[in-house]
Structure 1
Amino acid sequence: MAISPEHQIYTELFSDSPDMAVEFLRGLGVEVPDYRRSEITSCDLGHVDPVERRSDVAIMLRGPSPEDPFDKLMGVIVEVQRDESERKRFTWPEYLACLRSRHECPVSLLVICPRQSVADWYAEPIALGHPGFVLHPLVVGPSDIPIVTDPATVAESPTLGVLSAAAHGAGRSDVLDALHTGLSGIAPEQATKYIGYSLHLLSDTNGQKALEKLMMADTFEYTSAWTESLEAKGEAKMLLRILRAQGVEVTEDARERITGCQDLTQLEAWADRVPSITSIDQLFDE
């Protein structure tokens, strides 16, 4: 199944700002160790059937231990869920167990849901069957996302500003004003990207129209190019998953060619070819 632009945007936000995931965990009462840096780590969490065993974002928190000044202190798995899926109740415990086993450190699961009804559904505990072995997903819905009305906060954390706009901007002009003003203080290419994200997440709402009106007097040159790029990135990620599932070894050169392709038609043509190939070179045969 293709990755939707909305899903990809939320994934990109937490990939851009892994510390934001930590702040949400702390807000949910999770005790997070004092760490020196956060980094994105591999999202592949299995050996077979990688399509089912790949999280959206995996984060590693590193800090001092008796053995290492940048030891692995805690892992965080971020999952974006737009709709209800009973299957996730079976795969999420495996995600946690795999990352914990691989890095030998505690791991937490953070679920981001753009819709409150979906967030409430995923908040139910998951009983694994073993006595006392119950997973309680840590879920963030729109009601858990701060209402950001301070432009300085947006400038400091643009990803949080986008999340706030997506959750509350349809009904609050002060949130959009803060986003618009705050993004004017960061690098123009970054501001353009986050404006594009916000416009898409506010699609078909009064918030989208209000933000577009604010943009009319600006020099931001946002076009559909960012959405096309986002869709291409999602298609490329899905193509790589399909290749792994088919047992086709992907060389570094092939990976770079696939992820660097911005032509959706070409990516779809490659995906259609996967079932009939046995080597990566055959994928690119004309």
Structure 2
Amino acid sequence: MVSSPHEAMHRIFQEYPELVSQLSGTLGLELPPVVSVEPVTVDLTETEPLERRVDTLLRIGTENDGPFLLVVEAQGKKDPGKTASWPYYVTYLHNKHRLPVLLLVVCQDHGTAAWAARPLTIGLPQWPTVTTRPLVVGPHNLPVITDVAEARKDLPLATLAAITHADNPDVDAILKTMSVALRDTPESVAGPIVEFIAQGLGNRPAAQQWRNLVAVDLSFYTSPLSEEIRDEGRVEGRIETCAEGALLILGIRGIEITDTTRDKVTGCDDPELLRRWMVRAAVVTTSDQIFDDEAPADR
């Protein structure tokens, strides 16, 4: 299954294709400024029953050097199969489109980045016939941005840097910087960035930190993530109200609340089930009876 960090690492180039030029300093390679972008189908399937797809494929137009194809691969871990598939992607696309092909690999850890950066050769050791040299960006060469002014200066690059540094010990400071940098940014600009960072963090502990920052610092945005957070808040509110209500009704009626009852009620996260227990609390004779499906639901 494709993970959300995987999607964020390559889809950000679909949203901000100018990143390919902005990475020139990071990669130590002078890339021409982007003047046009055209999405290209990522399907590399041939007539044989073998399906091949790249993550993102863009036709990049430049002012003086002509167009080229940008292949962006998000790589979450070492994969020996890429030794064969990456050279295939490059040669197939060059043969099909008759354009130069640049393979860019985005990683989130140093080990995978070092592995991905190795030249891939096909041929004899003493005479390689084809050599594929991926360009790799990741935590080894993207900056740790904890200065708000620096983040605002280039938000797409800062976003990619935040995604690739998802496992950095200073990730909380990185995320706080991004949330502050986005405060005065138009929602049309900030919305995709909020979602890309959320995707890029996946299920890491830092993902909850980002959710908290979005809920507080960026509470006025209406992105899918912010709406999800607000929905969760409403559900949590109903859960807390129903749990307190069930225990309050039992207490008012003078019914002893056992530790088992209290632990089960306060530990439940199903608002509908808690609502039923709260209704039963008005008619039962012992606290544990609220869990009994045979107990009356109302008077």
Superposition TM-score, scaled by structure 2 size? 0.62
CA-CA distance at 1:148 after TM superposition: 2.2
Which of structures 1 and 2 has the larger relative contact order (alpha carbons within 8 angstroms, sep 6+)? Answer: 1
Aligned to 2:16: 17
Matches within 5 A, 1:76-95: 76-95=70-89
Aligned to 2:131: 134
8 Å Cα contact 1:72-1:105 kept in structure 2: no
Q: 1:42 to 1:213 in 2, by over 3 A?
A: closer
8 Å Cα contact 2:4-2:202 kept in structure 1: no
Q: 1:34 to 1:167 in 2, by over 3 A?
A: closer
8 Å Cα contact 2:27-2:141 kept in structure 1: no
State yes or no: 1:119 paired with 2:87. no
Partner SS, residue 179 of structure 2? helix
Amino acid at match of 2:161: S
Return the alpha-carbon distance in structure 2 between the equivalents of residues 32 and 80 of structure 1.
20
Amino acid at match of 1:135: T
Q: 1:143 to 1:101 in 2, by over 3 A?
A: same
Q: 1:35 to 1:180 in 2, by over 3 A?
A: closer
Gaps of 5+ in 1: 66-70, 226-286
8 Å Cα contact 1:75-1:107 kept in structure 2: yes
Aligned to 2:214: 215
8 Å Cα contact 1:46-1:98 kept in structure 2: no
8 Å Cα contact 1:152-1:182 kept in structure 2: yes
Larger Rg: 2
Superposition TM-score, scaled by structure 1 size? 0.65
Return the alpha-carbon distance in structure 1 between the equivalents of residues 178 and 62 of structure 2.
32
Partner SS, residue 60 of structure 2? strand
Aligned to 2:256: none
Corresponding pairs, count: 219
| 1:164-197 C-alpha deviation (Å, 9 max, x unpaired) | 2233465334422321122223332552443243
| 1:89-135 C-alpha deviation (Å, 9 max, x unpaired) | 11111211122223322211111112222112222221111624322
Partner SS, residue 113 of structure 2? helix
199-208 or 118-127: bigger deviation: 199-208
Aligned to 1:143: 140
| 1:32-75 C-alpha deviation (Å, 9 max, x unpaired) | 3455223332222342368642211112221356xxxxx84222
8 Å Cα contact 1:56-1:79 kept in structure 2: yes
CA-CA distance at 1:17 after TM superposition: 0.9
Aligned to 2:157: 160
Partner SS, residue 72 of structure 2? strand
Return the alpha-carbon distance in structure 2 between the equivalents of residues 36 and 192 of structure 1.
24
Alpha-carbon RMSD across the aligned residues, in angstroms, is 3.0
Return the alpha-carbon distance in structure 1 between the equivalents of residues 33 and 200 of structure 2.
33
Q: 1:52 to 1:119 in 2, by over 3 A?
A: farther
Partner SS, residue 194 of structure 2? helix
Matches within 5 A, 1:103-252: 103-129=97-123, 131-132=127-128, 133-155=130-152, 157-168=154-165, 171-172=169-170, 173-188=172-187, 190-203=189-202, 205=204, 207-217=206-216, 218-221=219-222, 222-224=226-228
Q: 1:120 to 1:147 in 2, by over 3 A?
A: same
Q: 1:174 to 1:55 in 2, by over 3 A?
A: same
